[in-house]
Protein backbone atom coordinates (compact mmCIF):
# COMPACT_ATOMS: atom_id res chain seq x y z
CA UNK A 1 0.00 0.00 0.00
CA UNK A 2 1.14 3.52 -0.69
CA UNK A 3 2.14 5.43 2.42
CA UNK A 4 4.16 8.32 3.71
CA UNK A 5 5.98 8.32 7.03
CA UNK A 6 7.20 11.37 8.86
CA UNK A 7 8.96 9.88 11.89
CA UNK A 8 9.28 13.12 13.84
CA UNK A 9 6.04 14.46 15.26
CA UNK A 10 7.62 17.50 16.86
CA UNK A 11 11.02 19.15 16.38
CA UNK A 12 12.46 22.07 18.28
CA UNK A 13 15.44 24.08 17.01
CA UNK A 14 17.09 27.35 17.87
CA UNK A 15 16.88 30.23 15.46
CA UNK A 16 19.85 30.14 13.11
CA UNK A 17 20.38 26.41 13.50
CA UNK A 18 20.13 24.00 10.59
CA UNK A 19 17.05 21.86 10.06
CA UNK A 20 16.29 18.50 8.53
CA UNK A 21 12.80 17.01 8.45
CA UNK A 22 12.55 13.37 7.48
CA UNK A 23 10.15 11.78 5.04
CA UNK A 24 10.02 8.17 3.88
CA UNK A 25 7.55 6.75 1.42
CA UNK A 26 6.30 3.44 0.20
CA UNK A 27 5.19 3.45 -3.43
CA UNK A 28 5.17 1.12 -6.40
CA UNK A 29 7.20 3.38 -8.61
CA UNK A 30 9.04 6.66 -8.28
CA UNK A 31 6.29 9.01 -7.25
CA UNK A 32 5.86 12.71 -7.45
CA UNK A 33 7.11 14.13 -4.12
CA UNK A 34 6.09 17.30 -2.34
CA UNK A 35 6.64 19.28 0.80
CA UNK A 36 3.93 21.60 2.10
CA UNK A 37 3.94 24.02 5.03
CA UNK A 38 0.90 24.92 7.12
CA UNK A 39 0.94 27.88 9.49
CA UNK A 40 -1.67 27.96 12.29
CA UNK A 41 -5.14 28.63 10.93
CA UNK A 42 -3.87 28.64 7.36
CA UNK A 43 -4.11 26.36 4.39
CA UNK A 44 -1.20 24.40 3.00
CA UNK A 45 1.43 26.13 0.90
CA UNK A 46 3.71 24.28 -1.50
CA UNK A 47 7.40 24.56 -0.57
CA UNK A 48 8.88 22.40 -3.31
CA UNK A 49 8.27 19.39 -5.50
CA UNK A 50 10.22 16.65 -7.25
CA UNK A 51 9.08 15.00 -10.45
CA UNK A 52 12.31 13.84 -12.11
CA UNK A 53 15.85 14.96 -12.92
CA UNK A 54 18.18 16.53 -10.40
CA UNK A 55 17.56 14.85 -7.07
CA UNK A 56 18.29 18.02 -5.10
CA UNK A 57 15.44 20.46 -5.49
CA UNK A 58 15.23 24.04 -4.35
CA UNK A 59 12.06 25.56 -3.01
CA UNK A 60 10.73 28.76 -1.59
CA UNK A 61 11.82 30.37 1.68
CA UNK A 62 15.32 28.89 1.42
CA UNK A 63 14.23 25.25 1.71
CA UNK A 64 15.65 22.35 -0.26
CA UNK A 65 14.98 18.64 -0.39
CA UNK A 66 16.90 15.65 -1.64
CA UNK A 67 15.34 12.58 -3.24
CA UNK A 68 17.18 9.36 -2.40
CA UNK A 69 15.71 6.46 -4.34
CA UNK A 70 17.74 3.83 -2.48
CA UNK A 71 16.37 5.00 0.85
CA UNK A 72 12.86 5.92 -0.38
CA UNK A 73 13.38 9.26 1.29
CA UNK A 74 12.72 12.90 0.50
CA UNK A 75 14.10 14.89 3.43
CA UNK A 76 13.58 18.62 3.75
CA UNK A 77 16.48 20.85 4.80
CA UNK A 78 17.21 24.46 5.60
CA UNK A 79 20.69 25.71 6.57
CA UNK A 80 19.51 28.44 8.94
CA UNK A 81 16.05 28.49 10.49
CA UNK A 82 14.13 31.72 11.10
CA UNK A 83 11.49 32.20 13.78
CA UNK A 84 8.89 32.61 11.01
CA UNK A 85 9.55 29.01 9.91
CA UNK A 86 7.64 27.72 12.92
CA UNK A 87 4.75 25.75 11.41
CA UNK A 88 3.65 22.25 10.52
CA UNK A 89 5.33 20.55 7.59
CA UNK A 90 3.77 17.83 5.48
CA UNK A 91 5.42 15.49 3.04
CA UNK A 92 3.19 14.13 0.28
CA UNK A 93 3.48 11.64 -2.57
CA UNK A 94 1.38 10.96 -5.62
CA UNK A 95 1.30 9.16 -8.94
CA UNK A 96 0.53 12.49 -10.54
CA UNK A 97 0.38 15.98 -9.17
CA UNK A 98 -3.04 15.29 -7.72
CA UNK A 99 -4.48 12.53 -5.52
CA UNK A 100 -1.74 13.12 -3.02
CA UNK A 101 -1.11 10.99 0.05
CA UNK A 102 0.03 13.12 2.95
CA UNK A 103 2.17 12.19 5.93
CA UNK A 104 1.03 12.97 9.45
CA UNK A 105 3.16 16.09 9.63
CA UNK A 106 6.05 17.42 11.70
CA UNK A 107 5.48 20.41 13.93
CA UNK A 108 8.49 22.73 14.00
CA UNK A 109 9.07 24.98 16.97
CA UNK A 110 11.78 27.65 16.81
CA UNK A 111 13.37 29.15 19.90
CA UNK A 112 15.04 32.58 19.79
Partner 1 sequence: EAGVAQSPRYKIIEKRQSVAFWCNPISGHATLYWYQQILGQGPKLLIQFQNNGVVDDSQLPKDRFSAERLKGVDSTLKIQPAKLEDSAVYLCASSSFTGELFFGEGSRLTVL
Residue 60 engages partner 1 in binding (rule: CB under 8 A): no
Nearest of 82, 68, 58, 85 to residue 23 by alpha carbon = 68
Count of residues in the chain: 112
Q: How far apart are CA 1 and CA 22, in angstroms?
A: 20
Binder of partner 1 out of 2, 26, 55, 97 (CB under 8 A): 97
Binder of partner 1 out of 80, 84, 104, 109 (CB under 8 A): 104
Stretch that binds partner 1, among 20-28, 57-65, 72-80, 91-99 (CB under 8 A): 91-99
Stretch that binds partner 1, among 14-22, 37-45, 52-60, 64-72 (CB under 8 A): 37-45
Residue 92 engages partner 1 in binding (rule: CB under 8 A): yes
Residue ranges with strand state E in the chain: 3-5, 10-14, 19-21, 24-26, 32-38, 44-50, 56-58, 64-68, 73-78, 87-94, 101-102, 106-111
Residue 54 engages partner 1 in binding (rule: CB under 8 A): no
Binder of partner 1 out of 25, 63, 74, 90 (CB under 8 A): 90
Q: How far apart are CA 66 and CA 70, in angstroms?
A: 12
- Positions touching partner 1 (CB under 8 A) are 4, 41-46, 49, 90, 92, 96-100, 102-105
Amino acid sequence: AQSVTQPDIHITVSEGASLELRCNYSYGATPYLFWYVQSPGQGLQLLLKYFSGDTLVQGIKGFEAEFKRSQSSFNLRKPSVHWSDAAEYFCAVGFNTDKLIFGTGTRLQVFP
